[in-house]
C-alpha cells in the first residue's frame, strides 16, 4: 500500500532593510518597518501518513533545528498520525530566514493535509507563535510574512498589528533584482536569537546608540519601499549601504572580519551598497551592484564566499504535490 503524502514549499528572503525593528518591544513601542523580497531558496515540508508503522514516528529524525520545529508543529496541531520532515535548499544559519520559512512550510502543509484554508497573514502569525512560544526562539515577524506571502513586501509593525503591502514586481524589475542582487554565504553560521536578545536588552535599557540606530533602520526601510516602488535600484543600493553603517553598530557580534572584507571588496568592484543579512555575525552578505558591474561584484564576493542562486520568488507558501493512499499497483491520484 502506498502512503498518502503532501509536499509544500515556502521561500526564504533577502531583508533589504528594517530588520530588528520588527522585534518586540521595539516594534510595539516605536513602530517598525521592513522592506524585503522572497527568493527561490525554499524550505520543503513533507507530510506522510503513519500507516501500520510504515512511516517513522515524529521525533525520529536527526536533531536538526528544522525537524525539531516539525515535531513541535505536529504536537501543537495534535496530529500524532502523521510524520513531517523538512528539507532546505539553503545553508542553515545563513541569515535568509530559513527557520521561519520552515515553520511556514510545516504549518501550511499540516493545514492543507487537514483540508483547511489559511490566509497568508494567519499562517505567518501561527509560524511566529510556534517559533517563539514552543521553541523559545527570539525573533521578529518579517521572515514569516515573506515566506507566507512571497514577492516583495513593505511591512509596518506597531500596536500588535502588521500592515503588509505588496510591491509590484514587473518582469523588468524582477530581472534587475535577479541580476544585480548578489548573495554570498560566508560559511559561518550564527545563532540569531542570542544577538537579537542582546540588542533588545540594550533597547530596553534605552541605550542611546542602539535606540538611534533602530530608529534609522526603520526610516531607511520605509525609503527602500519607495525606491522599490519607483522602481529605482540605484537608490535602493545606496540605502542598503547606509543601512549597514547603522546595523553594524547594534552589537559587536554583527560585523566580522570576513564580512567587512567582502563588503569592502564588493564596493571597490562596483557595489552601490552591501550588508549582512539577518542578524549577521556570519551567514550571508548581500551586495547590490551598479548596472554593468554585476560580474565584477560577483567575482569579488566569490573570492571569499559561496555565491548563492538568489532569484525572486513571486509565490509564497504553496503545495507542490499531493498523493492519496492507494492500493499497491494502483495509480496515485493526480498531484494537486
Q: What's the rounded mean pLDDT across residues 169-175?
A: 97
- Give the cell for residue 103: 515553520
Q: What is the pLDDT of residue 1?
A: 35
- Specify the DSSP class assigned to residue 59: T
d(CA 43, CA 99): 8
- Give the cell for residue 85: 520532515
- Give the cell for residue 299: 567575482
Q: Write phi, then psi, for 323 (nearest 5 degrees).
A: -125, 150
Q: What is the pLDDT of residue 52?
A: 61
- Give the cell for residue 171: 518582469
d(CA 111, CA 98): 20
Q: What is the pLDDT of residue 220?
A: 98
With a pLDDT cut of 90, the percent of the chain lying above it is: 74
Q: What is the pLDDT of residues 31-78, one digit of tens each?
A: 999 999 999 999 999 999 986 655 444 444 444 556 788 888 888 888
Q: What is the pLDDT of residue 280?
A: 83
Looking at per-residue pLDDT, the higher value among 87 and 330 belongs to 87
pTM for this predicted structure: 0.90
Residue 6 near residue 322 (C-beta atoms within 8 A) = yes
Of 33, 28, 14, 22, nearest in space to 223 by CA:
33
Q: What's the rounded mean pLDDT across residues 103-113?
A: 96
Q: What is the pLDDT of residue 331?
A: 41
User: CA-based angle 21:24:28, to the nearest 5?
Assistant: 85
In the chain, the DSSP E strands lie at 5-17, 32-49, 82-88, 152-158, 161-167, 181-185, 271-276, 284-289, 306-308, 318-323
Q: What's the rounded mean pLDDT across residues 134-157?
A: 92
Q: What is the pLDDT of residues 178-190, one digit of tens each?
A: 999 999 999 987 6
Q: What is the mean pLDDT of the chain?
A: 89
Question: At residue 232, does pLDDT exceed 90?
Answer: yes
Q: What is the pLDDT of residue 123?
A: 97
Q: What is the pLDDT of residue 237?
A: 98
Of 288, 38, 311, nearest in space to 166 by CA:
38
Q: What is the pLDDT of residue 250?
A: 95
Q: What is the pLDDT of residue 330?
A: 41
Q: What is the pLDDT of residues 191-208, one digit of tens each?
A: 667 788 899 999 999 999
Domains and CATH numbers, the chain: 5-323 (3.30.230.120)
Q: What's the rounded mean pLDDT across residues 292-312?
A: 97
Amino acid at each position: 500500500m502506498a502512503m498518502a503524502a503532501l509536499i509544500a514549499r515556502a521561500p526564504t528572503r533577502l531583508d533589504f532593510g528594517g530588520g530588528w525593528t520588527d522585534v518586540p518591544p521595539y516594534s510595539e513601542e516605536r513602530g517598525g518597518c521592513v522592506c524585503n523580497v522572497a527568493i527561490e531558496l525554499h524550505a520543503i515540508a513533507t507530510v506522510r501518513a503513519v500507516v501500520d508503522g510504515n512511516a517513522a514516528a515524529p521525533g525520529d529524525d536527526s536533531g536538526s533545528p528544522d525537524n525539531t520545529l516539525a515535531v513541535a508543529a505536529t504536537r501543537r496541531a495534535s496530529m500524532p498520525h502523521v510524520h513531517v520532515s523538512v528539507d532546505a535548499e539553503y545553508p542553515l544559519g545563513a541569515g535568509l530566514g530559513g527557520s521561519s520559512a520552515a515553520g511556514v512550510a510545516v504549518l501550511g502543509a499540516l493545514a492543507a493535509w487537514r483540508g483547511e484554508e489559511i490566509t497568508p497573514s494567519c499562517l505567518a502569525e501561527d509560524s511566529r507563535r510556534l517559533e517563539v512560544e514552543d521553541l523559545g526562539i527570539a525573533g521578529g515577524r518579517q521572515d514569516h510574512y515573506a515566506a507566507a506571502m512571497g514577492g516583495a513586501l513593505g511591512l509596518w509593525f506597531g500596536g500588535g498589528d502588521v500592515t503588509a503591502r505588496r510591491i509590484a514586481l514587473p518582469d523588468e524589475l524582477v530581472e534587475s533584482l535577479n541580476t544585480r542582487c548578489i548573495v554570498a554565504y560566508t560559511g559561518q553560521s550564527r545563532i540569531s536569537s542570542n544577538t537579537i536578545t542582546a540588542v533588545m536588552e540594550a533597547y530596553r535599557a534605552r541605550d542611546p546608540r542602539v535606540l538611534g540606530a533602530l530608529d534609522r533602520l526603520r526610516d531607511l526601510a520605509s525609503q527602500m519601499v519607495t525606491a522599490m516602488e519607483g522602481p529605482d535600484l540605484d537608490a535602493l543600493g545606496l540605502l542598503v549601504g547606509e543601512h549597514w553603517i547603522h546595523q553594524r553598530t547594534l552589537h559587536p557580534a554583527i560585523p566580522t572580519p570576513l564580512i567587512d572584507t567582502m563588503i569592502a571588496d564588493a564596493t571597490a568592484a562596483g557595489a552601490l551598497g552591501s550588508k549582512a543579512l539577518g542578524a549577521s555575525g556570519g551567514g550571508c552578505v548581500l551586495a547590490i551592484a551598479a548596472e554593468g558591474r554585476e560580474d565584477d561584484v560577483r567575482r569579488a564576493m566569490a573570492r571569499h564566499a559561496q555565491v548563492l542562486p538568489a532569484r525572486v520568488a513571486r509565490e509564497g507558501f504553496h503545495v507542490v504535490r499531493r498523493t492519496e493512499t492507494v492500493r499497491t499497483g494502483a495509480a496515485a491520484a493526480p498531484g494537486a
